[in-house]
Structure 1
Amino acid sequence: MSILIRAAEREDVPALVRLRLANAERHLQLDPAVYRVPDVEDVRGHFEEVLSTESKVLILVAEVVGEVVGMVEVVLLADPPAHQILAPCRAAEIHTVVLDGHRGEGVGSALLTAAEQAAAEHGVSIIYAGIFASNNGAVRFYSSAGFGPRGILLSKQQGAPLAG
């Protein structure tokens, strides 16, 4: 099977929307308290804006037999401000999506390899894959590609705001 990885184009917006919504549905099954299915027009607007302007988001798509079956977003992050203690380091977040019928065929790995190369071309030296621990499939996928823990992100759910 031949997988073509290329930069996303405006003509890919319908496929990108389909991928985002399919990914949302899949995540909603993991934990409906954490995930949601966004409005289709909001998703379409996001991708149209990212692909029509100079953006800090790089989007690559995977095609199999002319059909877009996966995408990866590389979100370029700003360097830490001078007043912070973190050493300057060009970083990016990564988000990979592959349609269910094409998982396990190497599409995700091909996207990830291309995303790492695109990030390196933009001077990125570290890539973060923010994953909730309950998403075992994503943890397995990124771990098998060499991603590992880097610190711990702790959170605390706040109660409802007090009525004023």
Structure 2
Amino acid sequence: MIREAEPEDLEEVYELWLELMRYHQSHHVMFAINPRKVELQKDELLSRIRGKRSRILVFEQDGELVGMINVSMRDASEVFKLHRKGYIAETVVQDKYRGSGIGEELFGAAKKWLLDMGADHIEAQVSVQNPGAQRFWQAQGFSPSTQHIILDLREEKRK
């Protein structure tokens, strides 16, 4: 069953988010978690749960949250034809449930919510080190438009 996350789901939502970050930590340092900032991340997730222009949708099975998708509306400049941006962030399905259609169902619910909010397109970021996720999003109709690149400046600051 797909539903909107509630504040009382915060701990389970955080655990799903943490599972996703742990998986991606081997992809790039940007996914490394500061263990002293757990409450800060929980506050961020709670603001997304309570937000007027954001939702965290969860897939619940047998009383357990086994997947989630984080979705929001972000307006861009009206100079662009596509300026009512729907944005999909953290999307995760527990490993043992992958391939069962939960991801597609979560995306379908997120897409409907974004359409209802007036989105004219949807954007998402996918790790270049995660070919499974790239295939998943392409199967949902997404195509690459830009490449998100990062330069870690921590070493520069130490010089």
TM-score range, shorter chain: 0.7 to 0.9
CA distance in 2, matches of 1:146, 1:87: 19
CA distance in 2, matches of 1:11, 1:57: 17
CA distance in 2, matches of 1:147, 1:41: 33
CA distance in 1, matches of 2:21, 2:58: 18
Specify every segment of 5 or more residues in structure 1 that has no aligned partner in the other structure, as ranges.
Answer: none
Q: CA deviation at 1:57?
A: 1.7
Counterpart position of 1:7: 4
Please give the root-mean-square deviation of Cα atoms over the aligned residues, in Å.
2.2
- Structure 1 residues 22 and 90, CA, compared in 2 at 3 Å: closer, same or farther? same
TM-score (norm 2): 0.85
CA distance in 1, matches of 2:26, 2:149: 23
Aligned partner of 2:85 among 86, 91, 101: 91
Aligned partner of 2:23 among 7, 23, 26: 26
Counterpart position of 1:37: 33
CA distance in 1, matches of 2:152, 2:21: 22
Aligned partner of 1:48 among 40, 46, 49: 46
Give a deviation string over 1:98-138, Cα, whole Å, max 9, x none. Answer: 11121111111110011000000000111111113222121
- Between Structure 1 and Structure 2, the one with more helix by share is 2
CA distance in 1, matches of 2:97, 2:20: 13
Specify every segment of 5 or more residues in structure 2 that has no aligned partner in the other structure, as ranges.
Answer: none
CA distance in 2, matches of 1:151, 1:40: 31
Give a deviation string over 1:46-79, Cα, whole Å, max 9, x none. Answer: 1222334x43322110011221111111121123
- Structure 1 residues 8 and 153, CA, compared in 2 at 3 Å: closer, same or farther? same
Alignment of 1:104-143 (within 5 A): 104-143=99-138
Report the residue type matching 2:111 in the other structure. E
CA contact (8 A) 1:61 1:69 kept: yes
Aligned residues: 155
CA distance in 2, matches of 1:75, 1:110: 17
CA distance in 2, matches of 1:62, 1:29: 26
CA distance in 1, matches of 2:111, 2:55: 11
Name the SS for the 2:145 alignment partner: coil
TM-score (norm 1): 0.83
Identity of aligned residues (%): 29
Counterpart position of 2:142: 147
CA contact (8 A) 1:17 1:40 kept: no
